[in-house]
């Protein structure tokens, strides 16, 4: 873009915005780059490859299916980037075919050779020794054959319903069967109860870490399923389906039962992608393509297993800690050991937890002590994702069973966790808890735990607010912040939000928290505009913000205006970023970087100079339309000066200093990895691990 006076630049110009789906593919490429990085331990490189495959699956299940639905219904809906659905689908196909091709190149040329060099082999059918082949044949007969059901394709046996993302084979055969019928083709579905990665006994292969894939075991013995026939071809395939659930919340009498009824349909939604083995003849994959009503651009031929994510099993079964990241034990904050009185600590001071470097155990202990404490009268909590065996949910069950007032706001529509959350809701209701599902039309995404306790000076509210979920497992893999406080104003704010979620009434004014969908968007715009005003007046100004996704157009335009006013802006955006940095006259004062490393960057932290007041906020919300307008979210201030400085240093400054895992977004939409030109790469995550280890 040519330099133009700021006043004459149209900030709604589509060229100033990157497309959401195409930006997300760029994130997938950054994840895949971890699998190529020789500095990453070998089994971790395999894990990054499988993660890339898994998130690409979800991309097709949700994002691509959404674009296809717009095309099917002639909805010419375009975002700020101005790309129409048909053009977008074509560009997605082009980029995804290149990405998938690179995934399998990395598998075959980088990851598998590195594993083999380390003594871990994934044996292909052509590599089986006579002893291993005999064992595979015996394993097939004992463990696999009894649960297989080949389906002949003819007028009496139409093409079977194929489950979303399941492993299947299409088999071509010659000859006549027992009834004298000529045979041509059959479909074989591999049951999901069968393991996809199978360890070969050391006494058979002579190696401790030799494995075969279920697909190889079946393929090597496919003739057994068609006695007296000649198998002329056997090709694995997998179909990905639209997995977004739709429930008419206005019409549903009970959201739980309505959603439960929709869950089985997820496995049989409209097909959006077909993956086939690269040796599958064209006439065969065209036949499959027609069965699933797909186009040629929806077909992906792959040189390897059709589901790379299944290779993740190797990471678990290969007992090779030397090929993984060094283990670490999250540190407990001072004064919050296993026997600490969590309530006493919070009364003394606010507690900030930085996961995964600090343990999630104090949050669990807070819930457990609340459940067991006779002075606790009520517990209220939002549940988005917690895990099937969550100790916090167990504490809520105990508290409810003991007669405490327990309220759980469970978001049943947490994508791909719907079934688990339905189970949790049922358990809590059976224990005597009050269970609500939030607000019709708005996902309850806020992370809040409120405890009401009777003390000598009256009732006191204890609060935990977080940027991530109440899930002990993800707290070891995601970077997140949690604040535990008994600040009366914050306690009152959280109480009012719970009243909104479970009862009726107008929007209550909050003292310290900002809440979506009511005040958060406006407040973020005001804070950005205030920085712009400071810069126009010649005073210091600064914005640093960290989040997962940046999409909301009004916020992006506000950032552009602040940049035009001269505000230095640093954005740390892990995934999708629609803002185009470095555009003369628009965003030359904005820098965007993405951090991809051992842990999934998940905390949302927003910092504003604010005329020297230094406002630092943490939030459950990204800067996206859905978070601002279609979800219940919280954004809370870090007011204690020592804690605020910690957040700025640990969540923002270290990430701006990172040259090992940082990718810088360029004006053309490409990302440059700083490690490729850094003399001594510095990693924010490794620095934090070292800090907390000490």
Which positions are catalytic?
445
- Report the distance separating Cα 673 and Cα 596, nearest Å: 10
DSSP of 575-599? S-B-B-TT-TTTTTTEEEEEE-SSS
Residue 202: count other Cβ atoms within 10 Å of its Cβ.
11
Please report the DSSP string for 508-544 in residue order: PPPSS-EEETTTHHHHHHHHHHHHHHHHHTT----EE
| Residue 121: both structure tokens together | 């082999």
Q: Cβ neighbours of residue 651 under 8 Å, at least 6 residues apart?
A: 354, 479, 481, 546, 603, 605
CB 89 within 8 A of CB 296: no
The set of residues, in sequence order, having a beta carbon less than 8 Å from that of 690 and lying 6+ positions away, is: none
Torsion sign across C-alpha atoms 266, 268, 274, 280: positive
Neighbours of 579 (CB within 10 A): 29
Whole-angstrom distance, CA of residue 467 vs CA of residue 482: 7
Quote the distance between the C-alpha of residue 581 and its chain's center: 25
Helices (H), 143-274: 202-205, 214-220, 255-262
Quickly count: other Cβ atoms within 10 Å of residue 176's Cβ. Answer: 11
The SS3 assignment for 252 reads coil
Q: Tell me how far apart the alpha carbons of residues 570 and 653 are, in angstroms, rounded to a whole number.
A: 10
Termini Cα distance of the chain? 49
Strands 230-241 and 443-444: unpaired
Distance (Å, whole) CA 64 – CA 447 = 29
| Bridge-based pairing state of the strands 662-665 and 631-637 | unpaired
Do 633 and 602 form a contact (C-beta atoms < 8 A)?
Answer: no
Residue 450's alpha-carbon distances to 234, 294, 484, 495, 499, in angstroms, are 58, 50, 10, 7, 12
Please, how many CA atoms are within 13 Å of residue 641, restricted to the half-sphere of its CB? Answer: 1
What is the full DSSP assignment across 277-298? Answer: ETTS-HHHHHHHHHHTT--GGG
Q: Is 325 exposed, middle or buried (0-12, 13-18, 19+ CB in 10 A)?
A: middle
Q: What is the DSSP letter of 669?
A: S
> 3-state class of 613 per DSSP?
coil
3-state helix, strand, coil in the chain (%, to 5): 40, 20, 35
In this structure, are residues 470 and 383 in contact, taking their beta carbons and an 8 Å threshold? yes
Structure tokens at 590: 């904005």
Alpha-carbon gap, residue 404 to 545, rounded angstroms = 40
CA nearest to 23, candidates 628, 579, 659 = 579
Cβ–Cβ < 8 Å for 190, 167: yes
């Amino acid at each position: 873009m040519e330099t133009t006076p700021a006043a004459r630049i149209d900030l709604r110009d589509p060229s100033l915005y990157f497309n959401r789906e195409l930006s997300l593919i760029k994130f997938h490429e950054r994840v895949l780059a971890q699998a190529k990085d020789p500095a990453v331990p070998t089994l971790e490189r395999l894990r990054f490859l499988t993660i890339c495959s898994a998130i690409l699956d979800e991309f097709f299940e949700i994002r691509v299916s959404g674009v296809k639905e717009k095309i099917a219904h002639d909805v010419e809906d375009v975002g700020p980037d101005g790309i129409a659905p048909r053009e977008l689908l074509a560009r997605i196909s082009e980029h995804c075919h290149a990405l998938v091709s690179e995934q399998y190149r990395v598998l075959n040329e980088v990851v598998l050779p590195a594993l083999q060099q380390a003594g871990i082999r994934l044996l292909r059918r052509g590599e089986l020794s006579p002893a291993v082949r005999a064992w595979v044949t015996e394993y097939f007969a004992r463990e696999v054959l009894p649960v297989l059901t080949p389906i002949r394709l003819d007028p009496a046996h139409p093409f079977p319903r194929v489950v979303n993302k399941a492993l299947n084979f299409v088999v071509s055969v010659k000859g006549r069967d027992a009834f004298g019928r000529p045979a041509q083709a059959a479909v074989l579905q591999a049951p999901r109860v069968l393991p996809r990665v199978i360890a070969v006994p050391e006494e058979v292969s002579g190696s401790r870490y030799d494995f075969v894939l279920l697909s190889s075991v079946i393929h090597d013995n496919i003739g057994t399923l068609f006695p007296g026939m000649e198998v002329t071809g056997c090709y694995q395939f997998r179909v990905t389906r639209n997995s977004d659930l739709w429930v008419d919340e206005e019409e549903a009498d009970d959201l739980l039962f309505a959603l439960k009824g929709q869950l089985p349909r997820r496995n049989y939604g409209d097909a959006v992608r077909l993956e086939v083995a690269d040796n599958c003849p064209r006439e065969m994959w065209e036949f499959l393509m027609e069965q699933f009503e797909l186009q040629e651009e929806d077909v992906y031929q792959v040189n390897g297993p059709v589901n790379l994510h299944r290779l993740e099993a190797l990471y678990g079964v290969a007992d090779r800690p030397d090929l993984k990241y060094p283990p670490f034990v999250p540190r407990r904050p001072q004064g919050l050991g296993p026997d600490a009185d969590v309530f006493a600590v919070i009364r003394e001071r606010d507690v900030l937890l930085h996961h995964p470097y600090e343990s999630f155990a104090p949050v669990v202990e807070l819930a457990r002590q609340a459940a067991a404490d006779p002075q606790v009268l009520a517990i209220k909590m939002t549940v988005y994702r917690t895990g099937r065996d969550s100790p916090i949910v167990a504490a809520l069950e105990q508290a409810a069973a003991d007669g405490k007032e327990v309220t759980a706001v469970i978001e049943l529509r947490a994508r791909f966790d719907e079934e688990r959350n339905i189970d949790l809701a049922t358990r809590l209701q059976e224990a005597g808890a009050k269970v609500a599902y939030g607000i019709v039309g708005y996902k309850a995404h806020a992370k809040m735990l409120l405890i009401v306790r009777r003390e000598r000076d009256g009732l006191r509210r204890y609060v935990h607010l977080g940027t991530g979920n109440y899930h002990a497992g993800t707290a070891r893999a995601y970077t997140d912040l949690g604040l535990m406080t008994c600040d009366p104003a914050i306690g009152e704010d959280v109480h009012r939000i719970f009243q909104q979620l479970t009862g009726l009434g107008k929007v209550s004014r909050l003292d310290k928290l900002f809440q979506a969908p009511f005040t958060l968007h406006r407040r973020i715009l005001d804070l950005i505009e205030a920085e712009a005003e400071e810069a126009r007046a010649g005073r210091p100004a600064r914005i640093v913000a960290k989040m997962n996704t940046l999409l909301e157009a009004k916020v992006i335009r506000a950032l552009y205006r602040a940049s035009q006013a001269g505000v230095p802006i640093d954005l740390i955006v892990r995934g999708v970023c629609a803002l185009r940095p470095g555009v003369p006259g628009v965003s030359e004062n904005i820098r965007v970087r993405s951090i991809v490393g051992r842990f999934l960057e998940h905390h949302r932290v927003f910092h504003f100079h604010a005329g020297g007041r230094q406002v630092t906020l943490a939030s459950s919300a990204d800067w996206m339309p859905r978070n601002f307008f279609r979800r219940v979210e919280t954004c809370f201030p870090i007011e204690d000066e020592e804690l605020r400085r910690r957040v700025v240093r640990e969540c923002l400054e270290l990430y701006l200093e990172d040259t090992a895992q940082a990718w810088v977004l360029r004006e053309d939409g490409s990302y440059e990895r700083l490690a490729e030109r850094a003399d001594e790469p510095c990693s924010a995550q490794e620095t934090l691990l070292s800090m907390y280890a000490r």
